Amino acid sequence: MRIALLATNPKLYSNKRLMEAARARGHEIDFVVIRDCYMDITASKPEIHYREGDVLSTYDAIIPRIRPSQTYYGTSVLRQFLAQGSYCLNGPVAIGRSRDKLRTLQILSGKDINIPKTGFADSPLDTKKLIKLVGGAPLIVKLLEGTQGIGVVLAETNKAAESVINAFKSLKAQILVQEFIKESKGVDLRLFVVGDKVVAAMERRAAEGEFRANIHLGGTGHKAKITAEERRMAVKAAKAMELRVAGVDIIRSDRGPMVLEINSSPGLEGVEAATKVDIADAMIQHIEKHAKKKTRING
Ligand SMILES: Nc1ncnc2c1ncn2[C@@H]1O[C@H](COP(=O)(O)OP(=O)(O)O)[C@@H](O)[C@H]1O
Ligand SMILES: [Mg+2]
């Protein structure tokens, strides 16, 4: 098959692994840099041009790996590939939705998937009520578009929560307020879903003195044993988001597992190292099963 990896940095571990895995299974794969594409939207046949070359020929499948800062342009290019009839491992609409934590939680909640108690408000006049709604401090304040744990703050008292929420609001930052699952003790699960299967499960443990388990903040990854309920929950959550590849973050609470967030471009490095699963290969196999080989006029 002819595959394109639509991403930014060919030196990233995940991208190198995907290129390798596709070639190892006998496919042709091009690394297409998102920012080097420009598009002819009006053409009767949707075209994608490449800065260094000509019009890109069409691909059977696209593996999108769009970083959060490039969501808008990256999903625009992906839409163009979709218009050409390429199979997109994750679609542009699903990727766009997954970039907003509130929207994600609303979708999950609509499908009866457990999430921590979460509130959202526009006006600072509602801050006190919002704090009450999630059960009071300690609580979590979260930037809707934060990643790598950076936009996640723990407020220990109601007073602290109120000032943090109102400070974010005065900066026009979009935030959600969430109950703090303290019984998780800085541990969460990253379940890697491909298609309708959890192909790898990793437990992340936060660094000493930290409640956020993100690897970028010094968290460590370990192979995890998960329950059938957690497995079902991750697959259901990915399906609700219409993602074929997803990193589903789950936290274990006294009220059972809850989904924290879903990543549409989950990194491979930490999970492959912790679990020894060849995730890149699983992604390519999924494409083989689901993408149709196109007949091409221009080779
Ligand atoms: N409600 C919560 N209760 C306890 N810990 C949380 C909660 N929300 C997030 N965390 C911790 O913070 C980390 C980062 O939060 P997350 O929502 O995944 O944001 P990010 O996109 O920045 O990774 C999680 O992996 C988890 O360890
Ligand atoms: Mg996370």
Which residue is it, tokens 């009520």? 129
Domains of the chain and CATH, by start: 2-90 (3.40.50.20), 118-180 (3.30.1490.20), 183-283 (3.30.470.20)
Tell me what pLDDT residue 86 has.
95
Task: Average the pLDDT over 164-179 and give the result.
Answer: 93
Ligand 2 centre to CA of 114 (Å) is: 16
Q: Which of 14-28, 49-63, 194-208 has the lowest mean pLDDT?
A: 49-63
Q: Greater confidence, 215 or 139?
A: 139
Tell me what pLDDT residue 295 has.
56
Kindly report the average pLDDT of the chain as a whole number.
Answer: 94
- Sheet bearing 175-179, strands edge to edge: 118-119, 175-179, 139-143, 152-155
Q: Which ligand is nearest to the CA of 143?
A: 1
pLDDT tens per residue, range 214-228: 988 999 999 999 999
Pocket lining: 253 vs ligand 1, CB cutoff 6 Å: no
Q: How many helices (H) and strands (E) in the chain?
A: 9, 15
pLDDT category at 296 given cuts 50, 70, 90 is low
Q: Which of 181-195, 258-272, 285-299 has the lowest mean pLDDT?
A: 285-299
Pocket lining: 105 vs ligand 1, CB cutoff 6 Å: no
Q: What ligand 1 atom has the least distance to the C-alpha of 182?
A: 4
In angstroms, the Cα distances linking 207 to 19, 183, 211, 222 are 32, 16, 8, 13
Ligand 1 centre to CA of 188 (Å) is: 8
Phi, psi of 150 (to 5 degrees): -65, -35
Please state whether the predicted TM-score (pTM) of the whole model is above 0.75: yes
pLDDT category at 47 given cuts 50, 70, 90 is confident
Long-range contacts of 179-182 (CB under 8 A, 24+ apart): 179/116, 179/117, 179/118, 179/134, 179/135, 179/139, 179/140, 180/137, 180/138, 180/139, 180/140, 180/154, 180/211, 181/116, 181/251, 181/252, 181/253, 181/258, 182/138
Tell me what pLDDT residue 299 has.
39
Bridge-based pairing of strands 152-155 and 175-179 is unpaired
Q: Which of 40, 50, 1, 48 is nearest to 22 (CA)?
A: 1
pLDDT of residue 42 exceeding 90, the answer is: no
Ligand 2 centre to CA of 53 (Å) is: 37
